[in-house]
Structure 1
Amino acid sequence: MEDQPPRSLYQAIAAYIRGQIEERPDVGIILGSGLGVVASRVEEAVTFPYDGLPFWPRSGVEGHQGELVIGRWAGHVVAVMRGRAHYYEGYSMAELALPVRVLHALGIKHLVVTNAAGGLDPAFHAGDVMLITDHINLVGMAGLSPLRGPNDPVLGPRFPDMRQAYDPTLAGLARSVAKEKLITLREGVYVMVAGPVFETPADIRFLRLIGADAVGMSTVPEVVTARHLGLPVLGLSGITNVAPLSADDAPTTHEEVLATAQVIGPRMRTLIEGVLEKL
């Protein structure tokens, strides 16, 4: 599936899910590597393992539970993806976009995306939470887009405007919650690389030069798809490691990423819960 599939596919998957839940979700949340604990506050939950949802991309990466949880949280009905698939696992951009389109068909009005990312800003530390204010779509510049193929004008425009990829109102709510809860909230630009290799020191120097503050291997296809659909997006990165600038620095490992993400998870949960309460 290299091109966007027909709208009927998203609607059919959404209809299957709707048949097993009582209320339609109004907020979608996508959880990155090691951040599954964020969903622990969801009540009256109905859980759908990804392998039971037709055409749903499944992650084989440790730290991604692989289930859609729908229930009540902080005054909203939420649809929480505990884990996501990645381009490096062999999925096309259109396949990575499918969950967002299904969540939209279910009725969500806002989308929260999270990820585990490497810190590029020298002021960042492992364990920080970063509010994504913008992104650099390197994979899109290389020709990989979830919007490739014929456009369905019912879903969105052929050429979506990405000037406000991340909603300023939602960002303002996140800042307010962080201040109230005494959570240090960094801000910056996220850049997506295809992975699965971690970056070389030369890669890191280049990414810093072009204005990126954090780097990861996800999120951007989902945000592009959400904006095509007209969904406001809140983006949060958990800074799980500081990217090495020298070959002599300690290597980055997935185990390190997961361990730090587990420390970040409770603060990320508090932040998202506060935003939901204000939304």
Structure 2
Amino acid sequence: MLSMSKVVSGDSYEECQATADWLLSSTQVRPTVGIVCGSGLGGLADMLKDPQVFKYSDIPNFPRSTVHGHAGRLVFGTLKGKPCVCMQGRFHLYEGYPVQKITFPIRVFKLMGVETMILTNAAGALNQDYKVGDVMIIKDHINMPGFAGVNPLTGPNDERFGVRFPCMSDAYDRELQKLARDVVSELGYSDFMREGVYCSLGGPSFETIAECVMLHKLGADAVGMSTVQEVIVVRHSGMRCLALSLISNCSVMDYDSHEKANHEEVLETGRQRAEQLEKLVSEIVAKLERNNNSLTR
């Protein structure tokens, strides 16, 4: 008979541990940094040296990515001497997975020893000062599905993962944000870097004009269909978190506009900005160790 927690979540501690054990037995890499690649940003994984690649379909209990632009591979290797694991493709509510299954890899990473997560996504700009190709450091989020009870922590809480009611006012590590700002300045990327609030929706349809206007009035600078559920589990698990949004399109907020959002534009923007984003993430990872003692947990 299945336990209640397994019925509700689909990612019991035992399942996560079994997957972590399988991966640890299949690679010599012991990652301390986890990276999640958003739409069109899978090239981040190509930065890893001595890569060892696993297809999601070959990993026990792992869901499969169904979105164009998401390779569906887990890549282990080193980046600037740091052992890393990188997801080439994530999972989304609109693919039909339970929200707990979407965040399954995050729990597995924690059980493998990951301490810091860097998440990337492609997002539409709500802030009218943003341009396509900008990169936004996420300082906070609005979890719209959460307002309707769609939260990865719904159901019985397993204390081995984390506390029942985790704090989210510090979801995005402020020391990591400062580190990112410092790296941006060093690389000369300040002209296309932003900081703002990311709003997550369920998708897969893009937002209506009225929805975009409403979300901007609520305080959101960019909108997308991912990341927030992962961040909640990252913090629930006690890991540090940095998240970056690549502004891939400007949300339509004018009824006289003939612009239309589309996934191809998202992927093309990713290709155009990939080199700078890869360099940014690489340099942030390189500086993690020297800043480790001052980073909040």
Whether these two folds match at TM > 0.5 is yes
Task: Name 1:229's counterpart in structure 2.
Answer: 237
Alpha-carbon distance, 1:258 to partner: 0.6
Task: Name 1:44's counterpart in structure 2.
Answer: 50
Q: Is the 8 A contact 1:4 1:146 kept in 2?
A: no
CA distance in 2, matches of 1:253, 1:2: 34
DSSP 3-state at the match of 2:9:
coil
Q: Is the 8 A contact 2:47 2:79 kept in 1?
A: yes
TM-score, normalised on structure 1?
0.98
Alpha-carbon distance, 1:2 to partner: 4.2
Task: Name 2:281's counterpart in structure 1.
Answer: 272
Equivalent position to 1:244, from 224, 246, 252: 252
Task: Name 2:83's counterpart in structure 1.
Answer: 77
1:193 aligns with 2:204: no
CA distance in 2, matches of 1:77, 1:191: 31
Amino acid at match of 2:155: G
Task: Name 1:132's counterpart in structure 2.
Answer: 138
| Structure 2 portions without partners, runs of 5+ | 1-6, 289-297
Q: Is the 8 A contact 2:29 2:76 kept in 1?
A: no
DSSP 3-state at the match of 1:19:
helix
Q: Is the 8 A contact 1:130 1:236 kept in 2?
A: yes
Task: Name 1:123's counterpart in structure 2.
Answer: 129
* Residues 71-110 of structure 1 deviation map (CA, whole Å, 9 limit, x = unaligned): 0111200000001111001001100010000011111010
Residue pairs, 1:3-22, within 5 angstroms: 3=9, 5-22=11-28
Amino acid at match of 1:216: G
Alpha-carbon distance, 1:22 to partner: 1.1
* Residues 49-78 of structure 1 deviation map (CA, whole Å, 9 limit, x = unaligned): 011112212121110000000001112000
Amino acid at match of 1:148: T
Change in CA separation of 1:5 and 1:40 when aligned onto 2, cut-off 3 Å? closer
Amino acid at match of 2:50: E
Amino acid at match of 1:239: I
RMSD of aligned alpha carbons = 1.0
Residue pairs, 1:131-210, within 5 angstroms: 131-184=137-190, 185-210=193-218
After the TM superposition, list the runs of 4 or more consecutive aligned residues in structure 1 that deviate by more than 3 angstroms.
none
Alpha-carbon distance, 1:38 to partner: 1.3
Moved more, 27-36 or 53-62: 53-62
1:60 aligns with 2:69: no
Change in CA separation of 1:2 and 1:63 when aligned onto 2, cut-off 3 Å? farther
TM-score, normalised on structure 2?
0.92
Equivalent position to 2:39, from 33, 37, 40: 33
What is the aligned-residue identity percentage?
43
| Structure 1 portions without partners, runs of 5+ | none
* Residues 136-192 of structure 1 deviation map (CA, whole Å, 9 limit, x = unaligned): 011111110111111111211000000111001111110000000011310000000
Q: Is the 8 A contact 1:165 1:233 kept in 2?
A: yes
Alpha-carbon distance, 1:40 to partner: 1.6
Task: Name 2:224's counterpart in structure 1.
Answer: 216
Amino acid at match of 2:210: A
Amino acid at match of 2:269: T
CA distance in 1, matches of 2:216, 2:24: 44
Alpha-carbon distance, 1:246 to partner: 2.2
